[in-house]
C-alpha cells in the first residue's frame, strides 16, 4: 500500500497516477508495478537529444518509440532503445508526463539502491532537459521542487537521488552541474532524504 509521507496533496492533483497540470504524452515503455511494493524513491536524470541540443521533440519521440533513427548521426548509437521516464522537465519548466506513477517507467536500467536491485519497480523517474556536467535552469529547479513535493504528498517517497547514484560507473546524470544542495534546501520536507 502506498501511504504518503509528508502532507497530503489535494486529491484533485492526481488521477490514476497522472499529475494534473503536466502535459500527458503516453509512452508504451512501462509495466505494472509489483503488488505491495512501496514507491519510495525518486531518481533524477538528465537527457537531451542530440546531446546538448534543447527545445526539440526528440526526447518525446524517443520515449514514445517514434524517433527517426536516421535523423541525426547520434541517434544511430541508440537505435532500438526502448526507454521512458515518468516526467520530463524542459529548460523553461514545462512538464511532460509519459507514464502513470502507478506504473513503472523504464528509466533506471541496471540499477541498485541500498542493496535493492532494479529500481524501476519502486521508483519514479524524472528527466531534466540538460546534459550531465552542465548547469540547469532556475525554472527547472522551481518545477522540480514542486514536483517532488507533489510526489511526496501522494506516494511514500523517502529518498531523492540521481541516476549516477543508482547506476554508478554506468551513468553520469544528472552530473556535476546539478545543484543538489539548492534542491534539498528548497524542498525541505521533514523526513525526506536526499543522497548525492
- The residues carrying an active-site annotation are 127
CA separation for the pair 154, 27 (Å, rounded):
22
CA separation for the pair 30, 97 (Å, rounded):
12
Q: For residues 91 and 140, is the Cβ–Cβ distance under 8 A?
A: yes
Q: In what order do the strands lie in the sheet with 23-24?
A: 23-24, 95-97, 87-89, 123-129, 41-47, 159-162, 193-194
31 forms bridges with which residues in the sheet? 104
Of residues 183, 137, 177, the one with CA closest to residue 159: 183
Exposed e or buried b per residue across 1-14, where buried means at least 16 C-beta atoms within 10 angstroms of its C-beta: ebeebbeebeeeeb
CA separation for the pair 148, 39 (Å, rounded):
13
Amino acid at each position: 500500500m502506498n501511504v504518503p509521507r509528508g502532507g497530503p496533496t489535494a486529491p484533485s492533483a492526481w488521477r490514476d497516477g497522472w499529475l494534473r497540470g503536466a502535459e500527458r504524452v503516453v509512452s508504451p515503455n512501462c509495466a505494472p508495478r509489483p503488488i505491495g511494493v512501496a514507491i519510495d524513491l525518486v531518481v533524477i536524470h538528465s537527457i537531451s537529444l542530440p546531446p546538448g541540443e534543447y527545445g526539440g521533440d526528440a526526447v518525446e519521440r524517443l520515449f514514445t518509440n517514434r524517433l527517426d533513427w536516421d535523423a541525426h548521426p547520434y541517434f544511430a548509437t541508440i537505435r532500438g532503445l526502448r526507454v521512458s521516464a515518468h516526467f520530463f522537465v524542459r529548460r523553461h519548466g514545462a512538464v511532460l508526463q509519459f507514464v502513470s506513477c502507478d506504473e513503472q517507467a523504464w528509466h533506471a536500467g541496471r540499477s541498485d539502491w541500498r542493496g535493492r536491485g532494479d529500481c524501476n519497480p519502486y521508483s519514479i523517474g524524472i528527466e531534466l532537459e540538460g546534459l550531465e556536467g552542465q548547469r540547469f535552469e532556475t525554472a527547472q529547479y522551481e518545477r522540480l521542487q514542486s514536483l517532488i513535493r507533489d510526489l511526496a504528498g501522494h506516494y511514500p517517497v523517502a529518498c531523492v537521488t540521481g541516476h549516477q547514484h543508482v547506476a554508478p560507473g554506468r551513468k553520469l546524470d544528472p552530473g556535476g552541474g546539478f545543484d543538489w544542495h539548492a534542491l534539498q534546501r528548497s524542498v525541505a520536507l521533514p523526513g525526506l532524504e536526499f543522497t548525492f
